[in-house]
Amino acid sequence: MTTDAHPTDPRTALVPRTALVTGAGRGIGRGVALGLARAGWSVALVGRTRAHLDDVAAQLEALGATATVAAGDLVDATTVADVVARVEAAFEDVGGIGLLVNNAGVIEQAEVPFADDDVEDAWRVVETNVRGPLLVTRAVLPGMLARGGGRVLNMNSGAGVNAGGAYTGYHISKGALARLTTMLDAQYRDQGLRVLDLAPGVVATDMTGAMPTHEQRTEWTPVEDVAELVRAFGDGELDDLSGRFVRAGADTGASLRAATAEILATDARRLRLSTFGAGDPLA
Between CA 155 and CA 281 the distance in angstroms is: 33
pLDDT for position 203? 67
pLDDT in tens, 244-267: 999 999 999 999 999 999 999 999
Catalytic residue positions, numbered:
170
Which DSSP string corresponds to 122-175? HHHHHIIIIIHHHHHHHHHHHHHHHTT-EEEEEE--GGGTS--SS-HHHHHHHH
Entry pTM: 0.91
All structural domains of the chain with their residue ranges: 17-266
Pairing relationship of beta strands 99-102 and 67-71 according to DSSP bridges: unpaired
pLDDT in tens, 177-234: 999 999 999 999 999 999 999 999 876 677 766 667 766 667 878 889 999 999 999 9
Question: What's the CATH fold of domain 17-266?
Answer: Rossmann fold (3.40.50)
Comparing CA positions, the residue from 269, 232, 171, 201 lying closest to residue 36 is 232
